[in-house]
């Protein structure tokens, strides 16, 4: 006699129908379930249920068997739960990524965690940078790859990458004929700007334009890469985006390097200063293995109050 036979019997007894038990609870075929019940009766050595106009009814032997079957399954479930409680616990580590950065950083991060800590259950969140920062502050995330957000004294930011800006434009745009584009050449173009959900990137772009004597008011502002690509293609406008955006360009959109000194925006690993997570501490101790920024590099001027912490 197997546990599945007990489960089948209980399901049919409670539903009062082989067909309903098969469809609603056991997700098996009615003929197969009938055979399993016949095998159970053969092993018990007596008839446990009979068909009636009202459906399946238990015999006196069936009613007695039902009580013990329920007790047996309850004891099995209790044994399973006790074993799980006594076994090694699984630690959850919540990791966030600025939307689009998963392509470059998720594999690297997971390798650090899973090589030495195979029992970690890692949960992944993909969001705009401000929402990731808020998740860190609230304790919903343990660490996140994001921009260094202002006015977040609870958080520490470690630079892991510097992403140079690229100019994004339609593939058949006249400016695409050159390998490099002088930023002043976009003065009369439709310009796709960034919304406040990308504050660090927006400030970098605006500062770069101002440093080059350009006072450009965006025709549109976008929250994410998908919106940027769509508007560049549909309006035949141009945008300044970090180099990681090149991995997501559709055929109708292309990118070019900027002539002269190219500005960049930092991607950081952020975490809550007060966190006591041993997994986070382990992760921080190895972050230099995947970082593309020399250890100890200071953050951009506008976020200068947040200096990188040596893990």
User: Which has more pLDDT, 261 or 31?
Assistant: 261
Share the mean pLDDT of the chain: 85
CATH code for position 51:
1.10.10.10
Q: For residues 108 and 81, state if they share a domain.
A: no
Same domain, 123 and 181: yes
**E strand or H helix that includes residue 123:** strand 120-127
Of residues 159 and 28, more confidence is placed in 159
Query: In the predicted model, what is the mean pLDDT of residues 285-306?
Result: 65
| CATH number, domain containing residue 268 | 3.40.190.290
Structural domain boundaries enclosing 193? 89-311
Instruction: Tell me what the mean pLDDT of segment 53-81 comes to.
Output: 84
Query: In which residue are the tokens 């197997």 written?
Result: 2
Note whether 131 and 74 are same-domain residues. no
> Which pTM was predicted?
0.65
Judge if 267 and 126 occupy the same domain.
yes
Looking at 59, 86, 113, which one is the last position of a domain?
Answer: 86
Say whether both 167 and 282 belong to one domain: yes
On whether the CB atoms of residues 287 and 158 are closer than 8 A, the answer is: yes
Task: Kindly state whether residues 146 and 244 are assigned to the same domain.
Answer: yes
Question: Which of 58, 86, 114 is at the close of a domain?
Answer: 86
Q: Give the residue, 208 or 198, on which the prediction is more confident.
A: 208
Query: Structurally, how many domains does the chain consist of?
Result: 2
Q: Write down how long the chain is.
A: 311
pLDDT digits (tens, 9 = 90+) for 117-175: 667 888 999 988 999 999 999 999 999 999 998 888 999 999 999 999 999 999 999 99
13 and 105 assigned to the same domain: no
| pLDDT score, position 298 | 55
The string of pLDDT tens digits covering residues 81-133 is 677 666 656 678 999 999 889 888 999 999 888 776 667 888 999 988 999 99
Among 86, 105, 140, where does a domain finish? 86
Distance separating alpha carbons of residues 299 and 147, to the nearest angstrom:
10
């Amino acid at each position: 006699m197997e546990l599945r036979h007990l489960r089948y019997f209980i399901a049919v007894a409670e539903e009062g129908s082989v067909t309903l038990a098969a469809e609603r609870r056991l997700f098996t075929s009615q003929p197969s379930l009938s055979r399993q019940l016949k095998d159970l009766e053969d092993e018990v050595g007596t008839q446990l249920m009979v068909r009636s106009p009202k459906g399946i009814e238990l015999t006196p032997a069936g009613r007695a068997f039902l009580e013990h079957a329920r007790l047996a399954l309850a004891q099995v479930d209790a044994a399973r739960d006790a074993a799980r409680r006594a076994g090694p616990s699984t630690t959850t580590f919540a990791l966030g990524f600025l939307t689009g950065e998963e392509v470059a950083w998720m594999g690297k991060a997971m390798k650090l965690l899973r090589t030495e800590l195979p029992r970690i259950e890692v949960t992944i969140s993909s969001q705009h940078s401000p929402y990731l920062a808020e998740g860190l502050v609230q304790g919903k995330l343990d660490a996140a790859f994001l921009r260094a957000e202002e006015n977040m004294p609870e958080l520490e930011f470690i630079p892991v990458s510097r992403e140079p800006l690229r100019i994004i434009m339609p593939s058949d745009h006249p400016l695409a004929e050159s390998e490099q584009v002088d930023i002043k050449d976009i003065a009369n173009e439709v310009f796709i700007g960034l919304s406040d959900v990308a504050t660090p990137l927006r400030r970098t772009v605006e500062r770069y334009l101002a440093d080059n004597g350009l006072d450009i008011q965006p025709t549109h502002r976008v929250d994410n890469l998908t919106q940027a690509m769509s508007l560049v293609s549909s309006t035949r406008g141009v945008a300044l985006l970090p180099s990681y955006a090149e991995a997501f360009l559709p055929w109708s959109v292309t990118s070019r390097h900027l002539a002269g000194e190219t500005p960049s925006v930092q991607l950081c690993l952020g975490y809550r200063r007060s966190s006591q997570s041993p997994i986070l501490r382990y992760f921080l101790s190895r972050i230099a293995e995947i970082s593309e920024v020399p250890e100890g590099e200071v953050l951009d001027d506008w976020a200068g109050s947040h200096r990188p912490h040596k893990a």
